[in-house]
Structure 1
Amino acid sequence: MKASVTGNASVFNDAFREYSPGVCAYLRTRGVEDPEAVTQDVFLALYPRLSDLRGGPAGLRTLIFTIAHARAVDSHRRRARTPISIEYDPSQDCRLTPSAEDQVLDNMRGGHALLENLPEDYRDVLALRIIAELSLENTARIMKKSPGAIKQLQRRALARLKESQQVPKGQGRL
C-alpha cells in the first residue's frame, strides 16, 4: 500500500507540473473569478481519485479537465446565487440634498480667501457674528471681550474687508 501512495504522489506531482498551467488558462477563459485558487481545488480533488485512474495519460488528462469543468460550472452557479454587491456612492444618490453646513461652506468658499487675509480676531468676530449669527453678548462671552469691544472689532473687520475689495485708482473693474 505504501508503494501505491508513493506512486500516486509521483503521478500527482508530474500531473500538476504538466497540466496546472492549462487548467488555470481554461478556468480563466471560462470567466472563473479566481482561476489560481480553483486550479488548486481541481488538483486537490484529483489526488484521492488517482488510485482509481484508468486510461493512462489520456485518461489522466480527461479526468483533470472533467474536474476543472465541474469546478467552473460550480463557480458560475455560486456567482449567480450571490447578489451583486455595489458600493454606495453618496455623490450618485439623487435622493440626497446638501446639508445646511455644506451649503454654508459652499457659499463661503468664495469669501474664504478674503477672510484669510484678515487678522485672527477679525476672522473670529466675523465668523461668530455673521456666519454663526451669534448675538453680541454670546460673541463677547466666547471671545472673552466686552460687547462694546466686539462691536468695534466687527466694525474694523468689515472696514478692512471693504478696503480689500476696492480697486486701486487708475484700474477699472472688468
Structure 2
Amino acid sequence: MGRGGDRRRTQGSDVELGSAVSLAQRGDEDAFAAAYRLVQPGLLGYLRGLVGNDAEDVASDAWLEIARDLRRFRGDGAGFRGWTATIARNRALDHLRKQKRRPQIALIEQDVLELPGRADTVDAVLESMSTRWALGQISGLPPDQAEAVLLRVVVGLDGPSTARVLGKRQGAVRTAAHRGLKRLAEQLTSGSRAENVAPAASGTLKDER
C-alpha cells in the first residue's frame, strides 16, 4: 500500500484511539482496554529497544502510571501516543539507572510486525523495504538514530512529538531520524545489488560448463 493509504490508516487508528481515550477518561473500562490494544504493541517494541528482555516489566509500570494519571491527559489520539511514550521512556531510564546500564537498541520483531504501516516525509524511504527487514536492521544504528527511528516508525509519532519525548530540538531529532533511515536505505540498496550479482555470476558459470 502506498503512502496515501498508510497515512489514512494511521489517521484512522489515531481517531479510534482518541475516541477510546475520551471514553476511558470517563470510566469506561472497555475503552481503556481498546486504547491499550492500540498503543501497547508499538510501546512494547520501543521499550525492547531500550531495556531488552525487561520491556514487559517496564511497560507494566508505565501502564500503571498511565492509568493513574489518565484523567489529567489532554489531547487527541496522536497526543496520547506521545504522552504514553514519554511515560514509558522515563520508566525505562529509571530502570536502567537502577541497574546502572545504558539503553540497548535491540528489537523483538513479533511485537511490532502487525502494526499498520506508517509513512511521512521523514520515513517515506521505508515504502521500498519490508517492515521485517527494516526492523531487523534498526539495532545496527547509532543509539540516537535508532531511538528516533523507533519512535517515528514503531510508535508512530510525528517529528514534534518525537522531539518532545526525547527532550531534544526538532531539528536534531529530524536529522537523527533522517540519517538512520538513509543508512537503512543504503543497506537495502547494497543488499539488492548483492542479490542481483549472485544469480548473474551463477548463470555465467552454468553457461561456461
Q: TM-score if structure 2 supplies the norm length?
A: 0.34
Q: TM-score if structure 1 supplies the norm length?
A: 0.40
Higher relative contact order (CA 8 A, sep 6+): 2
Larger radius of gyration: 1
